[in-house]
A and B are shown apart, each in its own frame.
Chain A
């Protein structure tokens, strides 16, 4: 089944304890992205990646890191989580992110609910 998977789905942690949220897609998509969803703010893009070894900052990259060593995986790393990073996180992938490209639909994962105490 074509899908985007995220792990873990739920995580409660403490301030300063490094964590990684994994994201994997099995559709051979070039474009992958991370979003956070907060009440009243909608979805905000954290980082995105056009392809392997190519990553760019989105609207709210502070406090996050990403890597794209393989096409299928795009982990989100919080080196020193803080309470303001408590949020619902979504990973998404798309066949192509190229401007003017014809394959722009983003497929979203099920989400990871993170609580930082």
Chain B
């Protein structure tokens, strides 16, 4: 099956700086890559996603890039704010049936005011 690796596991940035979280995947046929944000005591919530036929997608301060050749994708958060502090998960949808999801191990982001 698919294997998704995520780095770093923890990340601290000063408010206003940028944060980058990187993920790699193993199955070259995976075609959908969502990013989820999990706040303390809550379930994950989708913040942005990208399909395999797109190289980059932006939504205000958040962007995701995908390099299919290298099999890695990254989350970029610019102008970070304290409310961005949370755990972030990347995921990939496997290609065997197209319906199974594989998640990274998470990145705990702390934005220091």
Residues of A within 8 A of B (CB): 4, 31, 33, 35, 40-45, 48, 50, 56, 58-59, 90, 92, 97-100, 104-106, 108-111
| B103:A100 contact, CB within 8 angstroms | no
Which of B32, B34, B41, B102 sits near A45, CB closer than 8 Å? B102
Q: A45-B100, A90-B44, A111-B43 are in contact. List 12 more A-B contacts (CB 8 A).
A: A41-B105, A44-B103, A45-B101, A48-B101, A56-B99, A97-B99, A104-B34, A104-B49, A104-B93, A105-B49, A106-B101, A111-B42
Nearest Cβ in chain A — how far from B21, in angstroms?
13
Interface range, B side: 20 to 34
Contacts of B106 in A (CB 8 A): 42
A105 to B48, CA, bound (A): 9
Contacts of B81 in A (CB 8 A): none
| A43:B99 contact, CB within 8 angstroms | no
Contacts of B49 in A (CB 8 A): 104-105
Contacts of A97 in B (CB 8 A): 98-99
Which of B1, B6, B99, B105 sits near A31, CB closer than 8 Å? B99
Residues of B within 8 A of A (CB): 1, 6, 31-32, 34, 36, 41-46, 49, 89, 91, 93, 95, 97-106
| A48:B99 contact, CB within 8 angstroms | yes
Residue of A nearest to B46 (CB): A105
Nearest Cβ in chain A — how far from B85, in angstroms?
18
Nearest Cβ in chain A — how far from B49, in angstroms?
7
Nearest Cβ in chain B — how far from A101, in angstroms?
9
Contacts of B104 in A (CB 8 A): 42
A50 to B98, CA, bound (A): 11
Known A-B contacts A40-B105, A41-B105, A43-B89; A106 and B46 likewise in contact (beta carbons under 8 Å): yes
Nearest Cβ in chain A — how far from B4, in angstroms?
8
Contacts of A31 in B (CB 8 A): 99
Nearest Cβ in chain B — how far from A66, in angstroms?
14
